[in-house]
Amino acid sequence: MSDLKGRRIAFLVTNGYEPSELYSPWDTVVEQGAEAVLVSPESGEVSGGDHSQKVDLDVAKANADDFDGLVLPGGTKNADQIRMNKDAVNFTRAFFDTNKTVASICHAAWILTEADVLKDRNMTSFPSLQTDLRNAGANWADEELVVDGNLITSRTPKDLPAFNEAIINKFIEND
């Protein structure tokens, strides 16, 4: 069944992404009929470990209005570089400004701190980020999945089944 047919979902990454946290949600939304679009501050290809992925759209030219949601895969290096890119931070914040679904896993929550969108939000992440997230105003919990409105968060690759299911369910719910 193609529950997400006609949906367009941005995946924001750069070099150093965690492959499982990109490919597992990517494959899940594509299998459900959505179009997955890789957005990055890099051009050409980005790499994560032994994997590489073609960049579809430069984040400087990306507009949140053209997408139904945003997935932020983790990877320490990826998340740290993305949060230092003004265009990537503004692109991320725009999804919150329009109340669109944002799904963040592992270290990707750092991007949300930089976008200043966590005040009074319930969430989880890789455990080492909890102090950063609390300092940004979030209510952090060590749980496999936390859904707060249109924000979906998970901790690590072992949480991907719950994370992927939540992404699909949130898009169906928002239909």
The DSSP code sequence of 106-126 is GGGHHHHHHTT--TT-EE---
Amino acid residing at 65: D
Residue 1, pLDDT > 60, answer: no
- CATH classification of the domain holding 134: 3.40.50.880
DSSP annotation string for 119-168: TT-EE---GGGHHHHHHTT-EE---SEEEETTEEEE-SGGGHHHHHHHHH
Model pTM score: 0.97
- Residue 2 covered by a domain: no
User: Residues 7-50: pLDDT tens digits?
Assistant: 999 999 999 999 999 999 999 999 999 999 999 999 999 999 89
- Residue 98 covered by a domain: yes
pLDDT at 123: 98
- Residue 144 covered by a domain: yes
- Residue 1 covered by a domain: no
- Residue 3 covered by a domain: no
- Residue 121 covered by a domain: yes
State whether the Cα torsion 155-159-161-165 is positive or negative. Answer: negative
User: Residues 97-126: pLDDT tens digits?
Assistant: 999 999 999 999 999 999 999 999 999 999
Q: Which residues are catalytic?
A: 106-107
* Average pLDDT along the chain: 96
What does the alpha-carbon distance between residue 90 and residue 60 come to, in Å, rounded to a whole number? 9
| Total domains present in the chain | 1
Tokens 């597992």 belong to 24
Q: Of 60, 55, 124, 123, which Cα lies nearest the Cα of 90?
A: 60
Q: How confident is the model at residue 54 (pLDDT cuts 50, 70, 90)?
A: very high
Domain that includes residue 82, residue range: 8-173
Residue 62, CA distances (Å) to 33, 38, 59, 94, 101 in order: 21, 10, 5, 11, 16
